[in-house]
Amino acid sequence: MNTNILAGSTPAGVETIHTPLQFRNLKHSEIDCRQQSISERGEKKTAKLLLYKDARVDMNILDETVGCERWQRLHQEIKGIMYCGVGIQQSNGEWTWKWDCGTESNTEKEKGEASDAFKRACFCWGIGRELYTAPSISIDLTDKDFFNGKLCQSFSVSEIEISSNHEITYLRITDKWGKERFLWGKKRPPLSPSQRKKAFERLYKGENIWTQLRDSFDFDETSLQIAYNDFVSSKSSLESE
């Protein structure tokens, strides 16, 4: 197994096989908001937020997409910088690796740097890459957001829509009381019954549009599977008559 991060060529005698590997888009519950800064202009205070994912999200998505036994991670320190490589086993048994380095956290130096390197390596595989398309998020703050001069408010992504090109098209952020504090983009209209039927017909005929259907219309995985199973059962009943 070649884990050298500087090696980019294929070893002699090994056939290169390109197998499409698609990771789903992140769900709103898998995205966190982090305060980047607070600016003041006169009496007006504004918080700038960033969207991020944690390492557990990456591990869960790797498990569900490739299987817990078909991916692994390695850490290597080079010139004082912590790198992490995420390897995924291909259909021919060979391992493909993608690497990136991390930065220290404000709390635990080594653990934070290793975790950040892992998350960045997962970005290289495409997991959560849609976060790079997020708009600039600025939230106007009020006195109720502070306690003893410090920000005591928290924010979370309540709704998000991501296109099949992995670009954020709609984003809604609320505070800890559920109040809307940021809204961007235009929400897609829900699928009509006829549109859903056409999509299920394509799936039934063998077209590989499951990921596209789930991500483009922000379906919950379980509810989409149940709806499709009902469609298949109905279809099979009609064909057997």
Q: Which residues contact 94 (CB under 8 A, 6 or more apart)?
A: 14, 17
Q: Give the integer Cα–Cα distance in Å for 50 and 62.
A: 23
Q: Digits of tens for pLDDT over the chain (241 positions)?
A: 333 433 333 344 434 444 468 898 999 999 999 999 999 998 899 999 999 999 999 999 999 999 999 999 999 999 989 999 999 999 899 999 999 998 876 555 667 899 999 999 999 999 999 999 999 999 999 999 999 989 999 999 999 998 878 899 999 999 999 999 999 998 887 777 888 888 888 888 888 777 667 665 555 566 677 788 888 888 777 666 6
CA 119-22-174 angle, 5° bins: 55
Check residue 4 and give its pLDDT: 40
Q: Does residue 200 contact residue 231 with C-beta atoms inside 8 Å? A: yes
State which amino acid sits at residue 89: Q
pTM recorded for the entire structure: 0.74
Q: Give the integer Cα–Cα distance in Å for 14 and 182.
A: 51
Question: Is 203 exposed, middle or buried (CB count within 10 Å of its CB: 0-12, 13-18, 19+)?
Answer: middle
Q: Phi and psi for 20 in degrees, rounded to 5? A: -60, 130
Q: Which residues contact 221 (CB under 8 A, 6 or more apart)?
A: 214
CB-side neighbour CA atoms (13 Å) of 88: 23
| DSSP classification of residue 28 | G
Residue spans of alpha helices (H) in the chain: 55-66, 109-125, 193-204, 210-216, 221-240
Question: Which SS3 state, helix, strand or coil, does residue 151 take?
Answer: strand
Q: Does residue 30 contact residue 57 with C-beta atoms inside 8 Å? A: yes
